[in-house]
Amino acid sequence: MSVKANTSGPAPWGTMAIDMLAIASFWGVSLAIVNPIGDFPLNDDWSYGLTVKHLIEKGDFRPMGWTSMPLITHALWGSLFCIPAGFSFNALRLSTLTMSLLGVLGAYLLIMNVCQSRWVAAMVALTLGFNPIYYSLSNTFMTDVPYAAITILASVLFVRCLRTDSNLAFLTGTTLAVAATLSRQLGISIPLAFAVSMILRRGIAARNIGRAAIPAALCVGALWGFQHWLSATGRLPALYYAQTDQLLHMLADPGTLIRNFAHGTYIVLLYMGWFLSPILLLAWAGVWVCHKKKLIAVLTALVGVMVVRGEVRVLHGSSPLMPVSSNIIDKGGIGPFTLPDTAILNCPLPALPPVFWLVMTTVSLAGAALLITALGMGAIDVAQRARLSRMNDSEAAGIFFLLSAMIYLLPLVVDGFLDRYLLPLIPLLAGSIASISSHFPRITARGSRFAAVMLLGPFLFFSICGTRDYLEWNRVRWKGLNDLMESKQVKAEDIDGGLEFNGLYDPMSVGWVRGDNYLIAFRPVPGYILIKEYNYRHWMPRYAGKVVVLQKNPLEAPKR
C-alpha cells in the first residue's frame, strides 16, 4: 500500500461546499429518526432554560444558584431562537442543533486547513457529529455542544491566522474565543495555545508578541469583568467558584493530585481511543509504512500498560469494561437516567450485552495506544524538522491544537470530570494528528477507507438508536406527568418526577422534592401503588420499555 502525505493545494470551495452539504444532509436525515421535538427539559438544561426564560421575559440575566460557568453566551444564543414564538424547550433545542451542525462543518474545515484531504476531513466531521455524546447532547440545551462548536470555529480562524496572518481571521477568531470563554471558563485554553503557537511560528518580535497576547488578554479581561459584574449586582451563583476552590484544595495535596492525574489521564485515553478510533486507524496506516517495527513494539507495550491499569481497577472493585466514567454513556445506552428508581434507588435498566462493552473496551485500549503512538511519532517528526528550519504552517497548527487540548484537559484530570466534558478534545486531537504527522495518509487505499467506515458504523448506530431511546422515554415520562397534573389536578410539589421535573417546578430543591405522594419511575417501587403505565419501544438494547405513574400507599411506608 502506497501512503504519502498530501502536499496538494486546497480543494476548491465548490468541492468543499458539496462535501459539507452531503454531511449536513446525512446528519439531518438521522434527526428524522431521532425526532427531537418535545417541549420538555433534558438532563441539566432545565436550569439553563429557566435562565433564558427569565432573560427574555424580564430582560434580566440571572443564572441559577448551582451554575458554575459564565453561561451568558449560551443564554444569549438560546434567546435568539425564542424570539419568533416565545420561550420553549423546542426552540432551545433548535438552537443547539444549529450550533451542533456548525461545529460539525467547522471540524471539516479545520482538517481541510491543515491536511487538505477531503476524506480525512469528512471522516473527522462525521466522527464528531455522530459521537454518542456529541450527537445526544445536540438534542438538548446543554452547554457542551455549543461550547465545543464555538471553540472549533475559533480554532479554524486562529489556524488560518497562523497560516496567512489574516487580520480578519485574527479578529473573528478572537471574538469567538471571548464568546467561548464567556460560555465556559476553559475557553481560555484556545487563546493561550494560540499565543504560544504564534510566537513559535512567527518568531519573537514586538508585533508578533502583541498579536499573540491580545486574544488571551481580551478573554481574561472579559471573564474577569463579567464575574465582577455578577458579584457586584448579586447575580453570582452560589456554586460558581466551587470547582475552582476544589481544584485549589487539590493542589495542596500532592499525593492525591498525582493519583487523580494518573487516573484521569487513563480515563481520558480510553475515551479518546474509542471516540477517535476511525481517525486513528487512518493515521496508523501512514505511520505503519515508515515505522513498522517500532510501531509493533510500542503498541504492544502501551496496550500492555493499559490492560494492567484495567486490572488495577478490578482489584479496587471497579469494572474494567467501558464505560468507566459517568453521565451520558451508560451500561444501558445513552442517558442520564434520572427517574427516582434509577437515580436514587440505584435500580438499573437492562444493559447492553457484555460482549458489546468488551468490544468497545478493546477498541478503546487499542485506540489509546494508537493515539499515544500517533502523537509521539508526530512530535518526533516536528522535533527533527525544527532543527533544520523554522516551524512550518502545519506544525504550528499541530502545536496549537495539542496545546489547546492539554491546557483544557489539565484541570479536568486533576479535579475530575464527566464524560461529556471530553467533547472539545475530539476535533483538537484529530487536528493535531493530521497536522504534525508527516505520515498522515492521503487515503488512496480502499482498505483504509473501508476499515475506517466500518469503525464509524457502530458510532452511527449507537448514537442514533441511543438518542432516540433517550428522547422516547423522556417523551413518555412528560406525557405521564402532564396527564397527572391536568387530568387528576395533582400539584407539582406533590410529585417526584425526576431531576428535570423537580428542578423545573421547584429550583430551590434540586434533587429533592417537597412531597412525593406521586412518583414517576421505570418500574413499581415499594410503598407505592400503580396508577397508570405508558409503554414505548426501546431499540438498543431491544426491549419493551415502560414508564409508570405511582401513588404512595397510605397503608405502607415507602422504603426510600
Average pLDDT over residues 436-452: 64
| Kind plus residue range of the DSSP H or E element containing 523 | none
Determine what percent of the chain falls in helix, strand and coil, rounding each to the nearest 5: 65, 5, 30
Number of DSSP helices (H) and strands (E) in the chain, helices first: 20, 6
Q: Check whether residue 211 and residue 242 sit in a common domain.
A: yes
Residue 559 lies in a domain: no
Residues 33 and 147 in one domain: yes
Note whether 559 and 527 are within 8 A (CB).
yes
Give the phi and the psi of residue 326 in degrees, each rounded to 5: -130, 170
Has residue 1 been placed in a domain? no
Phi, psi dihedrals of residue 521, rounded to the nearest 5°:
-150, 175
Per-residue pLDDT averaged across 447-458, rounded? Answer: 85
Nearest to 131 by CA among 30, 45, 49: 30
Residues 54 and 74 both lie in one domain: yes
477 lies in the same domain as 502 = yes
Cell of 320: 474494567
Question: For cell 474565543, what's the residue?
Answer: 177
309 pLDDT exceeds 70? Answer: no
Let me know if residue 451 belongs to a domain: yes
Counted domains in the chain: 2
Domain end marker among 439, 469, 499: 469
Please compute the mean of the pLDDT values over residues 154-158 and round it to a whole number: 97
What type of residue sits at position 206? A
* 377 pLDDT more than 80: no
Residues paired with residue 521 on neighbouring β-strands, in sequence order: 548
CA distance linking residue 286 with residue 241, whole number of Å: 45
Q: Are residues 287 and 174 in the same domain?
A: yes
7 inside domain: no
Task: Check whether 467 has a pLDDT greater than 70.
Answer: yes
Which of 440, 469, 498 corresponds to the end of one domain?
469
Q: What is the pLDDT of residues 267-278, one digit of tens each?
A: 999 999 999 999
pLDDT the model gives residue 4: 41
Instruction: Indicate whether 451 and 475 sit together in one domain.
Output: no
Domain-terminating residue out of 448, 469, 490: 469
The pLDDT value given to residue 290: 53
On whether both 478 and 511 belong to a single domain, the answer is yes
The answer to whether residues 310 and 446 belong to one domain is yes
Would you call 142 helix, strand, or coil by DSSP?
A: coil
In this structure, of 239-243, 375-379, 418-422, 517-521, the range with the lowest mean pLDDT score is: 375-379
- Is residue 510 pLDDT above 60, yes or no? no
CA dist., res. 466 & res. 249, Å (int): 38
Integer CA distances (angstroms), 358 to 353, 361, 362, in order: 9, 5, 6
- Do 98 and 221 sit in the same domain of this protein? yes
C-alpha 529/C-alpha 184 separation (Å) is: 44
The pLDDT tens digits for 159-216 are 999 999 999 999 999 999 999 999 999 999 999 999 999 998 888 888 889 999 999 9
Percent of the chain clearing pLDDT 70 (strictly above) = 86
Instruction: Write down the pLDDT at residue 1.
Output: 32
> Are the C-beta atoms of 140 and 93 separated by less than 8 Å?
yes
Query: pLDDT tens digits, residue range 230-252?
Result: 999 999 998 899 888 888 888 88
Do 186 and 129 lie in a common domain?
yes
Residue range(s) defining the domain that contains residue 475: 470-552
User: Is 402 domain-assigned?
Assistant: yes
Higher pLDDT pick, 446 / 499: 499
Decide: residue 84, CB within 10 A, 0-12 exposed, 13-18 middle, 19+ buried: exposed
One domain, residues 547 and 413: no
Rounded to whole angstroms, the Cα distance separating 278 from 460 reads 12
Residue 443 pLDDT grade (very low, low, confident, very high; cuts 50, 70, 90): very low
CB 216 within 8 A of CB 192: yes
CA distance 294 to 560: 57
Residue type, 419: D
What's the pLDDT band for 7 if we cut at 50, 70, 90? very low
509 pLDDT band, cuts 50/70/90, is low
pTM over 0.85: yes
Going by pLDDT thresholds of 50, 70 and 90, the confidence category of residue 465 is very high
- 408 and 543, same domain (yes or no): no
Least confident of 15-24, 121-130, 292-301, 317-326: 292-301
* Angle ∠(32,533,326) on CA atoms, nearest 5: 60
pLDDT for 67-116, tens place per residue? 999 999 999 999 999 999 999 999 999 999 999 999 999 999 999 988 77
> Would you say residue 4 lies in a domain?
no
pLDDT-based confidence at 384, cuts 50/70/90? Answer: low
Report if residue 140 sits inside a domain: yes
Whole-number average pLDDT of the chain? 88
Alpha-carbon distance of 389 to 49, in angstroms, equals 52
**Distance between CA atoms of 8 and 11, rounded to whole angstroms?**
8
Q: Residues 361, 363, 366, CA angle at the centre, nearest 5°?
A: 105
Where does the pLDDT of residue 425 fall: very low under 50, low under 70, confident under 90, or very high at 90 and above? very high
118-129 and 425-436 helices, crossing angle to 10°: 160
Q: Indicate if the pLDDT at residue 298 is higher than 60.
A: no
557 in any annotated domain: no
